[in-house]
Structure 1
Amino acid sequence: MPKTSARLLALLSLLQTRRDWPGAMLAERLDISPRTVRRDVDRLRELGYPIVAFKGPEGGYRLDAGAELPPLLFDDEQAIALAIALQSATTTGAGIEEAAARALNTVRQVMPARLRHRIDALQVTAVEQSTLRPAPQADSGVLMAIGAAVQAREVLRFDHTSGTSPRRVQPHHLVTWGGRWYLVAWDLDREDWRTFRADRITPRTPTGPRFTPRELPGGTVTAYVAAKFRGAAVAGDWPCHGEVILDLPASAVSRFVRDGLVEELGPDRCRLVLGSWSWHSLAAAIGRFDADIEVVGPPELKAAFAHLARRFTAAATG
Structure 2
Amino acid sequence: MNRTDRLYALAEELRRVGRAGTTSTRLARLFEVSPRTVKRDISSLQQTGLPVVAQAGVGGGYVLEASVGLPPVNFTPAQAVALALAVSALPPGSPFGTDAEAARAKVLDALSPADRARADQLAGRVWSRPDAVGDVPAPRVLRAVEQSLARQLVLAIEYRSSTGAVSRRRIEPVVLARTRGTWYLVAWCRTREGLRWFRLVRVLRADLTTERYDPRPVADVGDAPPDAHPVSARPSD
Match of 1:226? 225
Match of 1:180? 182
In structure 1, the residue corresponding to 2:170 is in which secondary structure? strand
Match of 2:143? 144
Cα separation, 2, equivalents of 1:81 and 1:209: 38
Residues 181-236 of structure 1: CA deviation (Å, up to 9, x unaligned) = 111101111111101011111344341521222234xx265x44428x9xxxxxxx
In structure 1, the residue corresponding to 2:153 is in which secondary structure? coil
- What letter corresponds to residue 159 of structure 2 in structure 1? H
- What letter corresponds to residue 81 of structure 1 in structure 2? A
Where does the alignment leave 5 or more consecutive residues of structure 2 unmatched?
Answer: 1-71, 229-237
Q: 1:176 to 1:92 in 2, by over 3 A?
A: farther
1:201 to 175, 187, 203: 203
Match of 1:120? 124
Q: 1:140 to 1:94 in 2, by over 3 A?
A: farther
Cα separation, 2, equivalents of 1:72 and 1:171: 32
Percentage identity across paired residues of the two chains:
29
Q: Is the 8 A contact 2:78 2:122 kept in 1?
A: no
Q: 1:108 to 1:88 in 2, by over 3 A?
A: same
1:211 to 210, 213, 218: 213
Q: 1:120 to 1:154 in 2, by over 3 A?
A: same
Residue 147 of structure 1 and its aligned partner are, at CA, apart by 1.4
- Aligned pair count? 149
Cα separation, 1, equivalents of 2:211 and 2:103: 35
Q: How does 1:1-318 map to 2 (within 5 A)?
A: 73-89=74-90, 91-94=91-94, 112-126=116-130, 128=132, 135-162=134-161, 163-216=165-218, 219=219, 223-226=222-225
Residue 140 of structure 1 and its aligned partner are, at CA, apart by 3.0
Q: Is the 8 A contact 2:96 2:143 kept in 1?
A: no
Where does the alignment leave 5 or more consecutive residues of structure 1 unmatched?
Answer: 1-70, 129-133, 230-318
Residue 137 of structure 1 and its aligned partner are, at CA, apart by 0.8
Residue 105 of structure 1 and its aligned partner are, at CA, apart by 8.5
Cα separation, 2, equivalents of 1:97 and 1:172: 19
Cα separation, 2, equivalents of 1:83 and 1:135: 24
Q: Is the 8 A contact 2:186 2:198 kept in 1?
A: yes
- Between structure 1 and structure 2, the one with the greater Rg is 1
Comparing 199-208 and 79-88, the one that deviates more: 199-208
